[in-house]
Amino acid sequence: MNKSVLFDLDGTLADTSVDMCNALNIILKKRGLKTVECEDLKYHISRGAVGIIKYASEVNGRSIDSSMIRSDFLEEYSRNCFVETRLVHGMSDLLVLLEKNGFRWGIVTNKHSKYVNKIVNGLNIGDRLSCLVTGNMVNEPKPAPDSLIHAMCLLKEEPKNIIYVGDDERDIIAGKAAGVHTIAADFGFIKDSSIINTWNADNIITQPTELENIIN
């Protein structure tokens, strides 16, 4: 019987794409570079700041000073990481459902705590979380299982009692390595849904509330 549900943050629990896009475009404009479309950028967010800057380079058709832009981007994002960020559509209903059914839930993300804490506070979910593990809390981020293992320790829960939901293959790799039940979120920052089947997740859901069928 699964007792706890853990979520990746970006694209799975919350749509953080617009705030990340706006922060990047501010920096690109300051440097006289082409800006990016937010709808396109979201498919690169799972690769972190490095992947985001790489995409900006592709849009501009040339390599840009990734180290300097990355630093400026992260500073800008830190100031404005909770402006347009919201829970993914249907996630609020799912969280209420989990709580009503006695499930604990939490977040396991590669994102740094200085951003995550602001987002959690902004979403007003901090007091509802049973577990929060950020990328700077472990030695190796996903796809390594370290963050999920750390979550198990915090929850004092066995792997067989945990579900992990994520929208990137690395989430599924980490979950399988940790021995938890893995669910691929087909509503996340995924450009080509056909690739999800290759991740070998235990289940695939196309909207948050479909998780109800799995936990029941």
Give the catalytic positions in this structure.
8, 10
CA 9 vs CA 35, 56, 108, 112, 133: distances in Å: 25, 22, 7, 11, 10
| Planar angle of CA 33, 34, 39, nearest 5 degrees | 140
CA distance 185 to 168: 8
CA distance 116 to 209: 23
CA distance 180 to 122: 29
